[in-house]
Structure 1
């Protein structure tokens, strides 16, 4: 991957020359330095679903005090995920330890 010296945008290869898609700045490719670059081409980036059937519930994640909307129990496991833009807060996903109901809490 190469970045533009003028504007900092990511460049792409076009007929053996690095070209900026934002400002059209061009620079010659340096094949010696490119041998040290790492790509994800040909790598397995999705290993499929994870089998959690043999994992004890206590090992799955932290719990917190929150009321389940399904059964009313007051404990749930939770995990945080960034599902929106990076400048917005994470979303908490809950799983009731009693009935396994799943729900999420958004920052409104």
Structure 2
């Protein structure tokens, strides 16, 4: 969206017509901005993927209290849990679980 530099109204777009280039124009004042067909890219910037930081570390879950929760992956009946406020204060907290079965050790969340 482009705005008129003289009056601040939103500019309207007009397609090229009979040899005239396309343009932005203001419906409230006489401002007109012609659009060139050629666009130059001055520099390319390489995007770098950032590392994802875990919400909690492995140490947090080893010292966490355990509860009777059924693992959705293996069906084991005990899991360690941590509670975090991941949304706004008026929303309920999110519970993160880790299966205590030595063969599974999967993590899931509720809430």
Q: TM-score range by the shorter chain?
A: 0.3 to 0.5
TM (norm. structure 1) is: 0.44
Higher strand share: 1
